[in-house]
Amino acid sequence: MTSATPTDPDCLFCKIVAGEIPADVVHEGAATVAFRDINPQAPLHVLVVPRAHHENAAASAAADAEGFAALFAAAAEVARAEGHDDYRLVFNTGAGVGQTVFHTHLHVIAGRPMTWPPG
């Protein structure tokens, strides 16, 4: 995995990945860490983050396609381990759509009915 900026010392998720800030970690892989969202929107709401710092999903995909794909593999493992065959995956890319931490993160959401389009 390559990255122009492997970590950001001011990034909340970089600090969680480094173990500097506690989180309820449910899965760790070579390229990813998954932990429970502190404001869950469903019975299962886990964030899967790359270990390398990139601002958003588009930046991650452009910089490290293999690492980006690892996010999806980790999300599937988390959902399966939590007993869910049906789940939703969400990226928010940019403040205008709700991204508040500017480190790529994939939301894994399951355990309740989901409507379309999302709100």
Which tens digits make up the pLDDT trace of 45-65?
A: 999 999 999 999 999 999 999
Instruction: Tell me if residue 103 is catalytic.
Output: no
pTM for the predicted model, two decimal places: 0.93
Between CA 64 and CA 11 the distance in angstroms is 19
pLDDT on residue 2: 43
CA-based max dimension of the chain: 40
Between CA 68 and CA 60 the distance in angstroms is 6
Catalytic pick among 45, 54, 103, 105 = 105
Q: Report the domain count for the chain.
A: 1
Whichever domain contains 24, its CATH number is 3.30.428.10
Residue 87: pLDDT above 80? yes
pLDDT on residue 118: 83
> Whole domain around residue 57: which residue ranges?
12-110
